[in-house]
Chain A
Amino acid sequence: MQGRETMGRDGGSREMSGADIIVRALVDLGVDTIFGYPGGAVLPIYDALFRQKQIRHILVRHEAGAVHAAEGYARSTGKPGVVLVTSGPGATNAVTGIADALLDSIPIVVLTGQVATHLIGSDAFQECDTVGITRHCSKHNYLVKETSRLGGTIHEAFHIATTGRPGPVVVDIPKDVQVATARYERPARFEHKTYRPKVKGDLAAIEAAVEMLAVAERPILYVGGGVINSGPGASQLLRDLARLTKAPVTSTLMGLGAFPASDPQFLGMLGMHGTYEANLAMNQCDLMLCLGARFDDRVTGKLDGFSPHSRKIHVDIDPSSFNKTVRVDLAIEGDVGHVLEDMVKLWRARGHQAQPQDDWWSRIKGWRAKQSLAFTQEGEKIQPQHAIRALWEATHKKNPIITTEVGQHQMWAAQHFDFEQPNKWLTSGGLGTMGYGLPAAIGAQLGNPKSLVIDIAGEASIQMNIQELGTATQYDLPVKVFVLNNEYMGMVRQWQDLTYEGRHSHSYSDSLPDFVKLAEAYGWKGIRIETLDQLEQGIADMLAHDGPVFVDCMVERHANCFPMIPSGATHTEMLLGPDQVAGKVDKSAEALV
């Protein structure tokens, strides 16, 4: 009860320890969940957490898991994720997740303990230069050297993580700063002296964009994760704009769910493993409206063959994305939701009618007829695409949240699991971090206790953070893990098939554990699916169990993920199936990732 008193609403003007200031500031910022792991340099904060009841602390099994869980929490709820780890190895273990959140623009705040200020630089026990290490993989970071600045810094960190282009912010807090006392006051409305992201787009530019859209004969909307970061309103406005302009819509990996997959105007994902129709439409369009995407190399393919005949409009809250890889004709800096709102308003006010697009849509229909995602399920071996589709059939009415690891299963999930709403698809897009999916599912489940959360995984990736099975058990989280087990690091093997004449150098998943037994050892239900006739029942059993379930689904081992744009190729040079694979590429293509 003493702790509650320290946290009292009137405590603003009283002296508090740095640790209590941290907890108090987090409560003031509306934080209800943090993911962490204790250690020497954060013991004062852990003691402050022990003495309060407003924040729930989730004990992970490895700091990497804490950051991905915070990412999953953030991506599925729209609220920032919070991480608390100790100095040295605690901080360095968190680095991958921090870099992951930077590349995928996920708002998280990572609090790291640091050795006492007088020890900094002395190679003290568990000391590392956390701000130095995270400087270029975080949106911003701080080393707080005075307790009096702690409260303000934490508020500022949340402001920076959640506004503009969201991202990870690290606050490094020496142990003596946590122990010393100072006054804490909740800051009034926050205005930063140098950091002021532009939210509203320039009206003249938006007007020009609307005029360009209105005269376009072959328009396309190319949408990315920015639409999801902008909030559910942006997804609604995107639907409105698509209706008005009649333009086809394609999405990046990060943007899936921003536009409903079932909508007839949706062409599916674009890029390296995108659909034929999406990539051909990008190549042949006369006007491209890019909304909150960044012309990533996985999307564009070979740059000098990228959409050669189109005028391009780019809407992004981060002006450094403009002209970074692809030159655009019109750049609009602002929050994509606000810009969409203005575009829709302006289109209606001007009484614009979309150009007749019969010819454009009949060409798209022709590309669609290729059925680039088609696969054949025959025999008793389960095709991985079929497994994903069966999972979708059995669960889509429950509106599940899907997380993934990284590799073939991730691309198959993106291709074959249809998303109708934003914030339901959590995947590591930019950094491509294996081991993301299980902790992200744990974070998503904590943020959405009533939702069905499934990690679609591969047998290799899942082992990168498999220790988090214990976290789900500890907190009674009914997350499901659905492993497509092909006994290979499938995407690595696929590239070896494509580029190195099938020399499978170290891409076989040898010495796999018995996943069912492993799951059971952690207190999970384990299910193994080996043949096609077990698939439906296995999924049903998974859904029927109200605790965590691990499904080890054996799939066809040699299936590769198509369609595919090989490295160094353009959108028009897609491989639709394995029969088109030459097994070798020239040296300049080999050097491209």
Chain B
Amino acid sequence: MAAKIKPLLVQEVVERHTLSILVDNEAGVLGRITGLFSSRGYNIESLTVADITEDEAVSRITIVTSGPRRVIDQIRAQLDRLVPVHSVTDLSELGPFVERELALVKVAGTGEKRVEALRLADIFRARPVDTSTQSFVFEISGSTTKVDQFIELMREVGLVEVARGGVVALSRGATAQ
């Protein structure tokens, strides 16, 4: 007989937040961050990381996560506690920000399907970066939803495989956050 485990708290509204984390670019720092998410049971929907300063001393990690507000606050506090973390900014909380994702989408087909793939790519401003007589690789960038939609449409015209870069994001306006 399966035991029915009652949830500890009533259902809360799940929010999607984009966190921008500046960290010392040292060995193991990414492991600290991702390990924190897995050991405490937080979600990672997307994660990107690259160094962003001239001397390569600081990296920006952009994480898209989801959870109730209470959990998002905990994630921020837990990240802030890590020694190599300079700052944690919750862009979703802060105000307007831009968010972009890059994807490479490989489509194969001939005839009308091939024409349709090109036509759709044009509408989405996706650029062919590789072409054979049988296939295209499109490069597309935009919001996660736009990339999702494009991939969905490509399924109908011969989608072969996809590589996605994950979300990068910055706050709008003149100042750094």
Contact = CB atoms under 8 A, between A and B. Distances in A.
Interface of A: 131-132, 135-136, 139-140, 143, 160, 192-195, 303-304, 318-320, 322-324, 327, 587-588, 590-591
30 contacts: A131-B28, A135-B28, A135-B31, A135-B32, A135-B35, A136-B35, A136-B36, A136-B39, A139-B83, A140-B82, A140-B83, A143-B27, A192-B83, A194-B83, A194-B84, A194-B86, A303-B9, A304-B8, A319-B77, A319-B80, A320-B78, A323-B70, A323-B74, A324-B74, A587-B4, A587-B5, A588-B5, A588-B6, A590-B3, A591-B3
Given A135-B32, A135-B35, A323-B70, A194 B24 contact: yes
Nearest to B86: A194
Interface in B83-126: 83-86
Interface of B: 3-6, 8-9, 24, 27-28, 31-32, 35-36, 39, 70, 73-74, 77-78, 80-86
B5 A320 contact: no
A302 to B, nearest CB: 9
Nearest to A320: B77
A537 B53 CA distance: 72
B9 A304 contact: yes
Contact of B5 (A132, A192, A591): A591
Contacts of A324: 74
A54 to B, nearest CB: 29
A163 to B, nearest CB: 11
Contact of B83 (A143, A195, A304, A587): A195
A574 to B, nearest CB: 21
Contacts of A304: 8-9
A44 B85 CA distance: 33
Residue from B4, B70, B74, B81 whose CB has the most chain A CB atoms within 10 Å: B81
B77 to A, nearest CB: 4
A327 B4 CA distance: 26
A175 B30 CA distance: 26
Contacts of A135: 28, 31-32, 35
Nearest to B57: A193
A96 B86 CA distance: 29
Contacts of A327: 70
Given A160-B83, A320-B81, A303 B8 contact: yes
A160 B4 CA distance: 44
A588 B86 contact: no
Given A194-B85, A588-B5, 17 more contacts: A132-B28, A135-B28, A136-B36, A139-B83, A143-B28, A194-B86, A303-B8, A304-B8, A319-B77, A319-B80, A320-B78, A322-B77, A323-B74, A587-B3, A587-B5, A588-B3, A591-B5
A135 B33 CA distance: 10
A320 B3 contact: no
Contacts of A323: 70, 73-74
B26 to A, nearest CB: 9
Contacts of B32: 135
A169 to B, nearest CB: 9
A322 B86 CA distance: 20
A304 B6 CA distance: 12
B74 A320 contact: yes
B15 to A, nearest CB: 16
A268 B31 CA distance: 42
Contacts of A194: 24, 83-86
Contacts of A591: 3, 5
A136 B39 CA distance: 8
What are the 4 A-B residue pairs with the smallest beta carbon separation, nearest first?
A587-B3, A320-B77, A140-B83, A588-B6
A136 to B, nearest CB: 5
B83 to A, nearest CB: 4
A303 B84 CA distance: 33
Nearest to B22: A194
A323 B73 CA distance: 9
Contacts of A160: 83
Nearest to A194: B86
B73 to A, nearest CB: 6
Nearest to B35: A136
A468 B78 CA distance: 36
B79 to A, nearest CB: 9
Contacts of B70: 323, 327
Contacts of B78: 320
Contacts of A590: 3
Contacts of B3: 587-588, 590-591
Contacts of A192: 83
A192 B84 CA distance: 10
A159 to B, nearest CB: 10
Nearest to A141: B28
Contacts of B9: 303-304
A588 B4 CA distance: 7
A428 B70 CA distance: 29
A322 B81 CA distance: 13
A415 to B, nearest CB: 28
A132 B28 CA distance: 8
Nearest to A156: B83
A240 B172 CA distance: 50
Nearest to A321: B77
B81 A318 contact: yes
A132 B27 CA distance: 11
Given A194-B24, A303-B8, A588-B6, A132 B31 contact: yes
A312 B74 CA distance: 18
Contacts of A318: 81
Contacts of A320: 74, 77-78, 80-81
A358 B85 CA distance: 50
Contacts of A588: 3-6
B82 to A, nearest CB: 8
A328 B74 CA distance: 14
Nearest to B39: A136
Nearest to B78: A320
Contacts of B36: 136
Nearest to A164: B81
A320 B73 CA distance: 9
B56 to A, nearest CB: 15
Nearest to A589: B6
Nearest to B3: A587
Contacts of A322: 77
Nearest to B82: A140
Contacts of A303: 8-9
